[in-house]
């Protein structure tokens, strides 16, 4: 279970993810910190508008926010 490192390692392995190209989103900071410790890019969810801003800052394409 989050935030144990093994869950992130399992997901990376199972889905053949490249951690540096994978974004993890969670509303709990310790889970975000654990994902970062495993090499994933991670952001804490606080609102849809903030998530959009965070994803754009990571250079990811996102659709328009209506809210």
Q: Global pTM?
A: 0.87
Higher per-residue confidence, 10 vs 64: 10
Cβ atoms of 22 and 40 within 8 Å: the answer is: yes
Tell me the pairing of strands 41-44 and 23-26. Answer: parallel
Handedness of CA 57, 23, 27, 5 (dihedral sign): negative
Q: What is residue 28's predicted lDDT score, i.e. its pLDDT?
A: 98
pLDDT tens digits for range 13-67: 999 999 999 999 999 999 999 999 999 999 999 999 999 999 999 999 998 877 6
Work out the pLDDT band at 1, boundaries 50, 70, 90: confident
| Cα–Cα dist 10/44, whole Å | 21
pLDDT at 55: 95
DSSP state of 58: T
């Amino acid at each position: 279970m989050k935030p144990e490192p093994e869950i992130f390692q399992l997901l990376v392995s199972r889905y053949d993810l490249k951690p540096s190209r994978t974004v993890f989103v969670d509303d709990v900071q310790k889970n975000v910190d654990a994902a970062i410790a495993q090499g994933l890019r991670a952001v804490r969810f606080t609102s849809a508008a903030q998530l959009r801003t965070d994803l754009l800052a990571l250079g990811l394409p996102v659709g328009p926010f209506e809210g």
